[in-house]
Structure 1
Amino acid sequence: MATFLAVPLKQTYEVDVVKPFRSFIQNTFSSANPDDYNTAISEFSKLRNLTITKSVDKHESALEVLYRYYDQLTAIENKLPVSENQIRIQFKWRDAFDKDSFFAGKNTLSIASGAYEKVCVLFNIAALMSQIGEVQNHESDEGLKTSAKYFQQAAGIFGQLKDSSLSICTQDPTPDFAPDTLNALAALMHEGGNGGKDSVPSSGTVC
């Protein structure tokens, strides 16, 4: 019988994005009407907080929340540049394998970078895909097809992250963002997308 696995999600911490965004807009676009951006900033903050609570659900609806937040990050990156010398918001994320992990390295990493926030969200999108794939009914053809789809998509994302993680993490990355780790996750997800053959571990998280 085919066996499947799920990757644990990275955990993040609440941050205040409202004050830094509002301050940047007021100082950069002095003629801007606060009514035009205060609501949008508040909604962005609520969406980020929602990703923290919803991502624990192994369901497509939680994946949609992560998609929406990732899209919002992409939409604002050229207008509201989060970086050390512009909008300084320290996004802090924990290593996905921190609990009982066999990987060595730092447990958390904080970087004032919108790009760092994006890749961490992208990691969680792939991880959640693996979790949704793992809980499908693998005794039915439809369940196997759905599972394979999510594992294949996760493999593509982890492969993409492998090629970009070190250029985005301006400090030593947490173990889950090491290229070797991401390469291994991409390979495992690929095997899961092929029906759990060969080297895929038994059902459960990879740690």
Structure 2
Amino acid sequence: MEDKQKSNSAIKMGHQRKGSNPLLTTARGKLQSRRSKVNDKINRELRMRDGAENLYKATGNKRLKELVTVELSFFNSNIQLLKEELSDMNASIDLYQCDGNINCIPVIPLGLKETSDTDMTVPIKDFILEHYSEDSSNYEKELTDLREVRQAIRTPQRDETGVSLLIEYFNQLFFIERRFFAPETKISVHFHWYDSLTGVPTTQKSIGFEKGSVLFNIAALYTQIACKQNRSRQDGIRLAILNFQKCAGALRYLLDHFSHAPSKDMQPETIAMMIQLMLVSFERI
């Protein structure tokens, strides 16, 4: 009975949360949609390049090696062009600024890490049946809430509601990790996230990677909220500074607790640079 209550609390999400309208209604949403498509293209080119590299290593045919070398050059060129396109989008800071900030110096936002859809409910159901000998259908509502909130955090709103959604999911991951991802009882779920700077995809089974990526997006969303403030007014300046400070705090926590992240945007030196950038940003306001 005690184990049943603990597994129930680990997947209980409370009331349902929603993300923003799927990426198409605002300039920021359109930019995020473009970023998502470029990330997918980079992922496809990387997979094709990996296949070509494996073929190059496996074949002893000289003519075939020459053809594969040409293909590898083509893939590398495409990947470089896509990374440059993504870099240009990351430099599009005007879309994040408040319309009333015409006479203010633009401040720098961080782009959100993109993620593909991940459904943890199926392996959790299997785990509940095998480990707790319980009927997983008893937890259908909680599992549905978990699936929906995971989907919603892919498109958080650019306000405190969006931050609350990400924080709610981040906090829930703590309980899910303890109940379903302990070293001796770990379930197999692949978490797929794109590097916010390079678009290179990374897939890991570690729920720590999921937590770190969500925390990165919490920090990024704080910068977007800061940029949104009307800094021609005193209250707007105060809110902008407060949100940049919150971002720096979230990044500091990420730096202290997730030091072995596989993606470049979450490497210690990158996060340390971003912290300094956030501190400089609100000093310029």
TM bracket, shorter-chain basis? 0.7 to 0.9
Matched with 1:142 is 235
Distance 1:52 1:84 in 2: 30
Distance 2:112 2:229 in 1: 18
Matched with 1:40 is 142
Q: Sequence identity, in percent? A: 28
Post-superposition offset of 1:35: 4.2
Alignment pair present for 1:95 and 2:198: no
| Maintained 8 Å contact 2:195/2:264 | yes
| Maintained 8 Å contact 1:10/1:96 | yes
| Maintained 8 Å contact 1:83/1:113 | no
Cα distance per residue 1:133-155 (max 9 Å; x no partner) = 01100011100111111100101
Matched with 1:25 is 128
Post-superposition offset of 1:162: 2.0
Post-superposition offset of 1:161: 1.6
The structure carrying a bigger helix percent of its residues is 2
Unpaired runs of at least 5, structure 2: 1-103
Post-superposition offset of 1:111: 0.7
Q: Which has the higher contact order (CA 8 A, sep 6+)?
A: 1
The count of residues paired between Structure 1 and Structure 2 equals 182
Aligned AA (2:197): F
DSSP-derived class of the 1:89 partner: coil
Post-superposition offset of 1:69: 0.9
Alignment pair present for 1:49 and 2:142: no
DSSP-derived class of the 2:181 partner: coil
Distance 1:85 1:179 in 2: 30
TM-score (norm 1): 0.81
TM-score (norm 2): 0.60
CA RMSD of aligned residues (A): 1.9
Compare CA radii of gyration and give the structure with the larger one. Answer: 2
Distance 1:24 1:175 in 2: 33
Matched with 2:72 is none
Aligned AA (1:66): L
Aligned AA (1:90): H
